[in-house]
Amino acid sequence: PSLHSQRHQFVVDFVRKNKPRKVADLGCGECRLLKQLKFQRSIELLVGVDINGAKIKKNMLRLAPLSTDYLQPTFDQLHIDLYQGSVTQRDARLTGFDLVTSIELIEHLILPDLELFSSVVFGYMRPANVIISTPNSEFNKLFPGLTGFRHSDHKFEWNRSEFRSWALKVCLDYGYEAEFTGVGEAPQELQESVGFCSQIGVFRRMNVLPNRFEEEVFFYTLVYSVNYPTLC
Ligand code: SAM
């Protein structure tokens, strides 16, 4: 399987194991991960957010119910909402989630925006679990001919220790704990020295304190909303 689908499969496996009810994918892009998640029976609310509204509109119909969903409902209850919005801004509709994912997004943020991302996701949304994936720069030497970043829009690519120190600072600031893993394996003899191609941090909230913000803000724009039929 492609690296892209391995990252998404990692999230699907996490969902199968932990059975979250409310899940949001930040930087949902082409809505491919959301499309896989809609088949997970534990999920009642599935939300996607992306700054690129045109990209959402082009791909949102991937999430539309098929006629077979009506004839033979297999969903107990599922509501999907897609928002155009930036992870640097707060929106009250994104609070109270069991799982928030951010797959290959943070490396597209300039550092001041990454600070905002941390405070929005860990300080304001405060989901029970967060999964973040980002390239591991130590793996880049296995890409023949690659000199700069893997993608021209990347603002940074971190090695394992840079990702770990960012993540541990976030944990300290916002009361989470993190485990580190990844997908995309190097040849056996290099696995320890270069690590995974995509590094993944799995964060767990350590307390149930709500966020410290009092006013309700709504910075995101709803672009798609669908209810799946319920079983009677
Ligand atoms: N997560 C998807 C995946 O796994 O295929 C897409 C990854 S793509 C490399 C990064 C996505 O993040 C793009 O769809 C981009 O529009 C979105 N993005 C970039 N900056 C953003 C921001 N500030 N807020 C929300 N989404 C953002």
- Residue 72: pLDDT band (50, 70, 90) is low
Atom in ligand 1 nearest the alpha carbon of residue 88: 23
What confidence score (pLDDT) does residue 155 get? 97
- Environment class of 178 (CB within 10 Å of its CB; exposed 0-12, middle 13-18, buried 19+): middle
- Residue 232: pLDDT band (50, 70, 90) is very low
The interface predicted TM-score of the complex, written ipTM, equals: 0.99
d(CA 50, ligand 1 centre) in Å: 6
- Distance, CA of 207 to CA of 174 (rounded, Å): 10
Say what percent of the chain tops pLDDT 90.
84
What fold characterizes domain 3-228? Rossmann fold (3.40.50)
d(CA 220, ligand 1 centre) in Å: 15
Ligand 1 neighbours by CB, cut-off 6 Å = 27, 29, 32-33, 49-52, 55, 86-88, 103-105, 108
3-state DSSP call for residue 216?
A: coil
* Alpha helices (H) along the chain: 3-18, 32-37, 53-59, 67-71, 111-118, 160-174, 191-194
70 phi, psi to nearest 5 deg: -85, -40
Residue 73 has pLDDT above 80, yes or no: no
State the average pLDDT over residues 61-65.
Answer: 91
